[in-house]
Amino acid sequence: MSKSLRFVLLAVVLLLVLSACAAGANPAVDTPSADGDVAGFWLGLWQGIIVPITFIISLFSDTVSIYEVHNNGGWYDFGFVIGAGFFLGGSGAGAKSARRP
């Protein structure tokens, strides 16, 4: 098998795997949870910050999830991404360049 054929097959498999991970619609958007609240930006921000801890707990508990399904949509998502970026390396420190003489 030639290198180019292997590369094409690998690219197709990778594309299929990544497309299988695409998010679908959330039918619970804007519907209140059991306590009557809908998560917004600030709760999304907090849950994004604590996502590493929540993820570890969710591996051992069926009652804990890392994402609130009863949310207000885009603002919750925005807060979650910003919060996750705080912890997961979204600070831009890697873009810092060395001093040039």
- DSSP lists the bridge partners of residue 71 as 39
**Per the domain annotation, does 7 fall within a domain?**
no
Q: What pLDDT does residue 69 have?
A: 80
**Per the domain annotation, does 78 fall within a domain?**
yes
| Count of domains for the chain | 1
**Per the domain annotation, does 45 fall within a domain?**
yes
Of the candidates 75, 77, 70, the residue with the CA atom closest to the CA atom of residue 33: 70
**Per the domain annotation, does 22 fall within a domain?**
no
**Per the domain annotation, does 24 fall within a domain?**
no
Calpha distance 61→66 (Å, rounded): 11
Domain that holds residue 72: 32-90
**Per the domain annotation, does 73 fall within a domain?**
yes
**Does residue 100 surpass a pLDDT of 70?**
no
Q: What is the pLDDT of residues 11-41, one digit of tens each?
A: 888 888 777 766 566 666 667 767 777 888 8
Q: What pLDDT does residue 28 have?
A: 64
**Per the domain annotation, does 19 fall within a domain?**
no
Length of the chain, in residues: 101
